[in-house]
């Protein structure tokens, strides 16, 4: 009897490397496990970095305090607790605690250095202010930012308005004996001068100084301006002629 040739079994396909846990489970279920493949799988897992697309949740108090601090830095007015709580979507009580932590940190009570600014509680909320100990430096900066960059023509026009306000464009031009159109626009754009009314007779616009000028000069009111009339002979006559 002739023996039939055995059909050749197909060569086992190379298995795709699996995770170590999957290989171990297959071994427990009776499937053959290649020890070399298992070792390679463990080595590959150890070298593969863990990548996650999930954003990190702001769970720490540092993140909360930093968010409140950012709002206080960009705000141009005092912020009350409700406004801050609404902006960061946290309870008012939590925001109040964050405010206290920030105040202690700025004042150096938490071991950090004392900052050049402080967090003050006002009637309408909380706001950052430079400490009074640095007023000299702040005042010097204000002088640089305001008067230091103004031309001589702008300073002269500003002085006329400060001492003679409310004053019209024509009155300023009569006192200075030059056109003041461009200079006046510059002062208005800088926030140092503004419209304060109109003449009932001619409809001409009256101009006056703003509080920004008082801040720049460090004055509480225009009454603190030094007397200037004795130094400007003929100014009064020119002022009267321009009416």
What pLDDT digit, counting tens, does each position of 193-214 carry?
999 999 888 889 999 999 888 8
How far apart, in whole angstroms, are the C-alpha atoms of residue 226 and residue 211? 17
The DSSP output letter for 31 is -
Which pLDDT belongs to residue 7? Answer: 53
Report pLDDT for 32.
54
Report CA-CA distances (Å) from 131 to 101, 116, 134, 221. Answer: 18, 6, 6, 23
pLDDT of residue 66: 93
Residue written as tokens 């920030």? 102
Task: Kindly report whether the global pTM for this prediction surpasses the value 0.85.
Answer: no
Spans of the chain below 70 pLDDT: 1-59, 144-149, 228-243
**Three-state DSSP class for residue 79:** strand
pLDDT the model gives residue 17: 44
Residue 56's pLDDT is what?
Answer: 43
Integer Cα distance of 76 and 118 in angstroms: 15
List the domain boundaries for the chain: 17-48, 61-130, 140-241
pLDDT value at residue 6? 57
Question: What CA–CA distance (Å, rounded) separates 76 from 163?
Answer: 30
Out of 1.10.150.110, 3.40.50.300, 1.10.10.10, 3.40.50.1970, the CATH code matching 61-130 is 1.10.10.10
Predicted pLDDT at 231 = 54
Q: Output the pLDDT for position 213.
A: 86
At 121-165, the pLDDT tens digits run 988 899 999 998 898 888 888 776 655 567 888 888 999 999 999
Q: At what angle do helices 20-28 and 35-47 cross, to 10 degrees?
A: 150
**Per the structure block, which two tokens stand in for 148?**
């230091």
- Rounded to whole angstroms, the Cα distance separating 187 from 3 reads 113
Task: Decide whether 61-130 matches 140-241 in CATH topology.
Answer: yes
> What tokens were used for 235?
């100014």
Provide CATH code, domain 140-241: 1.10.10.10
């Amino acid at each position: 009897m002739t023996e039939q040739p055995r059909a050749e079994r197909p060569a086992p396909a190379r298995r795709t490397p699996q995770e170590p846990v999957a290989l171990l489970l297959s071994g427990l279920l009776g499937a053959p496990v290649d020890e070399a493949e298992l070792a390679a799988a463990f080595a590959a897992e150890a070298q593969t970095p863990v990548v996650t697309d999930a954003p990190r949740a702001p769970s720490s108090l540092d993140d909360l305090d930093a968010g409140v601090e950012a709002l206080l830095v960009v705000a141009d007015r005092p912020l009350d607790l409700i406004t801050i709580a609404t902006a960061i979507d946290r309870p008012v009580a939590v925001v109040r605690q964050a405010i206290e932590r920030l105040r202690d940190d700025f004042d150096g009570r938490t071991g950090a250095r004392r900052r050049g600014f402080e967090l003050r509680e006002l009637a309408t909320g909380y706001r950052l202010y430079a400490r009074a100990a640095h007023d000299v430096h702040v005042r010097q900066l204000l002088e640089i930012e305001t008067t230091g960059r103004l031309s001589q023509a702008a300073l002269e026009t500003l002085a006329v308005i400060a001492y003679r306000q409310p004053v019209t464009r024509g009155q300023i031009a009569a006192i200075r004996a030059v056109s003041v159109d461009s200079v006046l626009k510059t002062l208005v754009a800088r926030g140092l001068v503004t419209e304060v009314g109109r003449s009932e007779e001619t409809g001409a616009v009256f101009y006056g100084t703003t509080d920004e000028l008082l801040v720049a000069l460090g004055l509480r009111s225009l009454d603190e301006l030094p007397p200037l009339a004795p130094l400007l002979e003929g100014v009064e006559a020119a002022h009267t002629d321009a009416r």
